[in-house]
Amino acid sequence: MKYESIPSLTLPKIGFGTWKLGGGSSADPKADPVSMAALRSALDMGYTHFDTAEMYANGHSEELLGLAIRESKFKRETLFITSKVLPSHLQYDQVLQACENSLRHLQMDTIDLYLIHWPQAGMKLKDTFRALNKLVKDGKVKHLGVSNFSIKLLKEAQEHSETPIITNQVPYSIADRSYVKNGLLDYCQQNDILLTAYSPIEEGRLRSNKNLDEIAKTHNATPYQIALAWVISQPRVITIPMSTNSKHIAENFQAADIELTDKDISQLANQ
């Protein structure tokens, strides 16, 4: 596994996302066996960064993640857990309650990284960060970050946060480079902020092409693995793919070990 470091933190280049585990926007207990099998597979494979949110299955994803970790051989302190507060919960008291709910779902004392999941029109970031800063002071959260923030909003978040903003989590893939075009990736790279790429293979819908297929063949890898390897070849970029297929979970993890050449990276960047 490759790692990405900023002054206050080192994280694996590839973590494990949990969107759709335990259900979609609401809990679906019928999905629990498949979801738990995926989490166990990821833990056994060696994933240490797990990304969840109160929105995922209305908190049930957090419950399953916490259960899988408690059932595993891994000590809590060896893992890094990210969760997120809904945009509808950004008022001071709501943030504090949302975090308490997530901690209860996870059955943990601390969340390693807590993000604002989406910005909301009319939100008062000063009020939101007053609560987030309190969570850090109280030891319930170790690090703060945001998700789906523009550069303007990211800068505003930095002004209100009493600790460094660790990451901005945004969609980023070979097919979706909107946050490169708008300058966010460059800003993160220059300011020691991790860009956490979600949907790095378009939720499994990434379309292959001749260029991607040829590079994959050269590295004895799948096109999806090459797409992941390209994403994490960028400085200050980590990613959190998700799968319930144990074979794909392993392939995603192993993509971190693929060494793309400068030519590969350039060809993929320019396709």
| Active-site residue list | 56
Please say whether the beta carbons of 133 and 96 come within 8 A: no
Asked if residue 196 lies in contact with residue 170, where contact means CB atoms within 8 angstroms, the answer is yes
> What DSSP character marks residue 144?
E
DSSP string computed for 205-231:
TPPP-HHHHHHHHHTT--HHHHHHHHH
Q: Whole-angstrom distance between the N-terminal and C-terminal Cα of the chain?
A: 27
Nearest CA to 258 among 214, 221, 209, 231?
221
The residue type of 256 is A
Q: What are the φ/ψ torsions at residue 95 (nearest 5 degrees)?
A: -60, -45
